[in-house]
Chain A
Amino acid sequence: MGRRWVATPAFGAAAGCALVFAFFAIFAADSGMWSARGIVNFLEVSALLGILAAPVALLMIGGEFDLSVGSMVGAVSIAIAIPAMEWGWPLGPSIALGFAFAAAWGGLNGIVVVRSGLPSFIVTLASLFVLRGLALGVTRWATGRTQIGGLKEPLATASVAPLFSGEVAEPLFSALADAGWMATRVDGAPAVTGLPVSILWWVAAVALGAFVLFRTRFGNWVLAAGGDARAALRCGVPVDRVKIALFVATAASAALVATLQVLDAGSADTNRGLQKEFEAITAAVIGGCLLSGGHGSILGAGLGALLFGTVQMGLFYTGVDSDWFQVFLGAMLLGAVGFNRFVRGRALA
């Protein structure tokens, strides 16, 4: 039984999280990282990555990569901001346009991959460049700049705003502060007034991804498509449709992250999401996804994102120069892949 538990793909990420938490509990004990504010900070950083990592992991298990999610975040932020600020659209339809654009492009990624037979690595690498360039070109052409600000104003009156911005569970947080469980500010308000919605979206994305993978027919098809596409076809699995749907899902998650960021910052920036594709794949790999497909864990990818955010903010709180973050990240990635291979070798022996 013990061995089986160790062999679950999410184990590596869970162990990594425990290790990193212990590390920063010691070395960042008095830095404010473990205050309510500090915890929410690193959870928010983890959340935006975790929302991407869940579908990216699902796609990897299905045997494909999407390198365009980072560029997609930038492109969708523009696709929301231009109608909202330049054309005078209300925020709701602007966000809907952003999601529609992402879904269409994701579907196109998928169709090109399954029709051409080219590796998705190459097809979505092309998308990475095209989307980033398109976002820059269109924005500069339409506004003369590469950033679009001023979205706070339409946000204040938009009915969809509570879905994508602000905080939830404020009464709970007030109660915690009143009970003395949480620090308060000078004015008596709790240090953290509520749980940012992005964290809820992260939990929802991971829960949905894990449910789809292990508790739906579609999930069984994803495992089969990534494990052995030929066998899956023989058994009547619509492999192409499964893969296209997964590309739509990764693009949609990028649209969600773009929406959260645009509403949080009140502005769109063509540079948003830079390198997020690699971070999401790193989180998925740390979470136990095999690069060859067919095996992995959505929970693991969610924890991989937590590990990522914790280390990033932890280094900040310990005062280590953030230059070292990427060194740490690279080492962690290599360690995770080695560990996964070891675990898989034992599980399948």
Chain B
Amino acid sequence: MSAPPCLSAKGVSRRFDSGMALDHVSFAVHAGEVHCLLGDNGAGKSTLIQILSGALEPTGGDLFMDGEPLQLASPREARDHGIATVYQDLALVPLMSVARNFVLGREPVRRFGPFAVFDAAAAGRLAREALDRMSIEVSDVDRAVSTLSGGQRQCVAIARALHHGARVLILDEPTSALGVAQSAGVLRNVRTARDQGVGVVLITHNVEHALAVGDRFTVLERGRSVLSVVASEATREGLQRAMAGGRSLDAETQRGRPPA
């Protein structure tokens, strides 16, 4: 690919008192591609995305945006650079309407002299348009978020992040708590975002979900990058073996089993 990746990390490390959480990891996402970040619990996935989203500073290594060096002091700075992160808790307020959640922190206002009045109609319109653009089915944007299904909530959070001008979308385990049908809905959104030219970082430990949408795959294991492949080279077994640190799931489950 000729254009530099829209967001990349070169040799980033993060040392905690307890040890190296991330050890010289390189990672890049291009515009219009889904880069899946796989790994077991404690592999360093969340440390890496915290660094990419400005929540954590690396103790070594560099970040680049469009090939230019990038310093991120806070999540707000990351957001200003167009890096949006949807964490597992989604940052949606359950008792508030979809529309009010959609504009939370960036409410549209109408000015009357010195007074700024919250423009509820505009909030509803923005939410409606953004959801329609992603083909997300929510019957009424005035409904409380708590009335939505888990999949719908995830989709609303994704649509909100994109609506606010994200160029890079980081999704933290978006399908981990969802059933098959709802996961499919969320993955469809991921594809839509990619097709709109957004660089998507999809964190998951579900290989099936990764293979369904991924263009590129990186596997972390104990803080190090152990595999980085493009879609044409990725196989279910290869990814799974890398995630398990070279051990295969079948072999692990067979171990210690009484002979048949």
Known: A215-B120, A231-B89, A236-B76. A220 touches B103 (CB 8 A): yes
| Interface size in chain A (residues, C-beta < 8 A) | 23
Known: A348-B146, A348-B147. A217 touches B118 (CB 8 A): yes
Nearest CB in chain A: distance from B94 CB, A: 7
| Interfacial chain A residues near B107, Cβ < 8 Å | 217, 220
Q: How far is it, in angstroms, between the C-alpha of A228 and the C-alpha of B118 when the chains are bound?
A: 20
Instruction: Please determine whether B93 and A294 come into contact, CB atoms closer than 8 angstroms.
Output: yes
| Interfacial chain B residues near A110, Cβ < 8 Å | none
Q: How far is it, in angstroms, between the C-alpha of A223 and the C-alpha of B87 when the chains are bound?
A: 21
B177 at the interface (CB under 8 A from A): no
Q: Mark A216-258, 1 if CB is under 8 A from B, else 0.
A: 1101110110011011101111000000000000000000000
Contact with B118, one of A216, A230, A231, A349 (Cβ below 8 angstroms)? A216
Instruction: Please determine whether A234 and B91 come into contact, CB atoms closer than 8 angstroms.
Output: yes
Instruction: Please determine whether B95 and A294 come into contact, CB atoms closer than 8 angstroms.
Output: yes
A347 at the interface (CB under 8 A from B): yes
Instruction: Please determine whether A236 and B105 come into contact, CB atoms closer than 8 angstroms.
Output: yes
B106 at the interface (CB under 8 A from A): yes
Q: Mark A247-276, 1 if CB is under 8 A from B, else 0.
A: 000000000000000000000000000000
Q: Among residues 84 to 127 in chain B, which have CB atoms less than 8 Å away from a CB atom of chain A?
A: 87, 89-96, 100, 103-107, 109, 116-118, 120
Instruction: Please determine whether B116 and A217 come into contact, CB atoms closer than 8 angstroms.
Output: yes
Q: How far is it, in angstroms, between the C-alpha of A235 and the C-alpha of B92 when the chains are bound?
A: 9
Instruction: Please determine whether A231 and B147 come into contact, CB atoms closer than 8 angstroms.
Output: no
Nearest CB in chain A: distance from B17 CB, A: 24
Which residue of A is nearest B103, CB measured?
A: A220
B144 at the interface (CB under 8 A from A): yes
Instruction: Please determine whether A220 and B89 come into contact, CB atoms closer than 8 angstroms.
Output: no
Q: Mark A60-94, 1 if CB is under 8 A from B, else 0.
A: 00000000000000000000000000000000000
| Interfacial chain A residues near B104, Cβ < 8 Å | 220-221, 224, 231-232, 235, 237
Q: How far is it, in angstroms, between the C-alpha of A295 and the C-alpha of B145 when the chains are bound?
A: 13
| Interfacial chain B residues near A232, Cβ < 8 Å | 93, 104-105
Q: Mark A189-230, 1 if CB is under 8 A from B, else 0.
A: 000000000000000000000000011110111011001101
| Interfacial chain B residues near A214, Cβ < 8 Å | 118, 120
Q: How far is it, in angstroms, between the C-alpha of A347 and the C-alpha of B146 when the chains are bound?
A: 10
Nearest CB in chain B: distance from A295 CB, A: 5
List chain A positions with a Cβ less than 8 A from chain B: 214-217, 219-221, 223-224, 227-228, 230-232, 234-237, 294-295, 347-349
- Listed by A's residue number, 19 A-B pairs whose Cβ atoms lie within 8 Å are A215-B117, A216-B116, A217-B107, A220-B96, A220-B100, A220-B103, A220-B104, A220-B107, A220-B118, A221-B105, A223-B93, A223-B95, A223-B96, A223-B100, A224-B104, A236-B79, A237-B105, A294-B95, A348-B144
